[in-house]
Amino acid sequence: MAQDSQTLQGDGISATIVAQGAELVSLQDAEGFEFLWQAGPEWRRHSPVLFPIVGRLNGDQLRHRGQTYPMTQHGFARDKPFAWAQSGPQSCTLVLTDDADTRTHYPFAFRLAVTYTLDRRQLGVTFDITNTGEEPMPASIGAHPAFNWPLLPDLAKTDYQLTFAAAEPAPVRRLKDGLLLKTPQPTPVEGNILALSERLFDQDAVILDQPASTGVRYAGERGPAIEMAWQGFQELGVWSKPGGAPFLCIEPWHGIASPVDFDGDFVDKPGLMLIAPAAKRVLSYQIRLL
């Protein structure tokens, strides 16, 4: 199948996915209301797949067995064409495997399958990562969906909040130049509520590196809302572009940017999965339209 995109149609929901980066580019309800950020000039992406790293590596360099490999922020999967492995009216699977180009950045053999499935007013996304090589494979993966903020144009950004499934008292992590600061900071979450404002992102993303919740609701005082839930992920990033942009990203991650003082071998980087030869890891998340 040489198609560039596919639109899935479900009960009260539609989703469009493109082969480039296996990226979700539209998420609408039955009335055609668009929930997903439409890649304006502030940020040219919609919902990139972050693999085989999440965040930045120190110096944008991956070190393995005495060799150094260039690796830009969030990895290469978001910029690679995936192959369509399965395509139906309510689900599709796209696959990326290692090749000569990926091995110049990441010296490991892998198969990454991304499956999108529609249910009643819900989109499910599954990441299936297989180590097809002969040595343990260090990897991270993350979701990065961006939702319109505000969802209703006549509401203010500050009319919206995130409501977590559980209280989130743990400190959060912050970034400097894309790298993880050493010292955790007090959480801006009060109980289970994160009040949203542009100033929240002056220091880049808010990173919950030990979240108690596996779900969150994004809603305003009225109008459309979403619920997200996730399985298999360790961290959650919440981000909008500093300085103000009309989108909010809610990002389940397994992995995190390199600490500012980490410059060791990639396999020793905090937060990675280490997948044995012939083994796989499966992680998933769901977006429910409300």
Tens of pLDDT, residue by residue over 98-134, are 999 999 999 999 999 999 999 999 999 999 999 999 9
Helix (H, G, I), strand (E, B), or coil: what is residue 125? strand
pLDDT of residue 243: 87
* DSSP count for the chain of H helices, then E strands: 1, 24
How far from chain centre, in Å, is Cα 103?
A: 23
Cβ-based neighbour number of residue 270 at 10 Å? 12
Task: List 274's β-bridge partners, or say none.
Answer: 138
Q: Which amino acid is at 13?
A: I
Helix (H, G, I), strand (E, B), or coil: what is residue 77? helix
Q: Which amino acid is at 130?
A: T
Question: Quick one: average pLDDT of 30-46?
Answer: 96
Tens of pLDDT, residue by residue over 177-192, are 999 999 999 999 999 9
Helix (H, G, I), strand (E, B), or coil: what is residue 257? coil
Q: Are 3 and 17 in contact (CB under 8 A)?
A: no
Q: Are 117 and 124 in contact (CB under 8 A)?
A: yes
pLDDT of residue 1: 43
Q: Shortest CA distance to 276 belongs to which of 284, 267, 285?
A: 267
Tens of pLDDT, residue by residue over 235-256, are 999 999 988 899 999 999 999 9
Give the list of residues 6+ apart from residue 16 with CB closer than 8 angstroms, or none: 5, 6, 7, 8, 24, 25, 26
Q: Are 201 and 207 in contact (CB under 8 A)?
A: no
What is the spatial distance between Cα 5 and Cα 24, in angstroms, rounded to a whole number? 10
- For the chain, the helix, strand and coil percentages under 3-state DSSP, each to the nearest 5: 5, 45, 50
Tens of pLDDT, residue by residue over 262-290, are 989 999 999 999 999 999 999 999 999 99
What is the spatial distance between Cα 185 and Cα 285, in angstroms, rounded to a whole number? 27
What is the spatial distance between Cα 97 and Cα 130, in angstroms, rounded to a whole number? 10
What is the spatial distance between Cα 53 and Cα 259, in angstroms, rounded to a whole number? 13
Quickly state the pLDDT bin for 2 (edges 50, 70, 90): low
Tens of pLDDT, residue by residue over 62-74, are 999 999 999 999 9
Mean pLDDT of the chain: 96
* Burial state string for 169-200 with b = 16 or more CB within 10 A and e = fewer than 16: eeebbbbeebbbbeeeeeeebeebebebeeeb
What are the CA-CA distances from residue 200 to residues 87, 232, 239 (Å)?
Answer: 40, 27, 9
Alpha helices in 95-159 (DSSP H): 100-103
Residue with tokens 């909008």: 240
Tens of pLDDT, residue by residue over 91-103, are 999 999 999 999 9
Task: List 253's β-bridge partners, or say none.
Answer: 142, 235
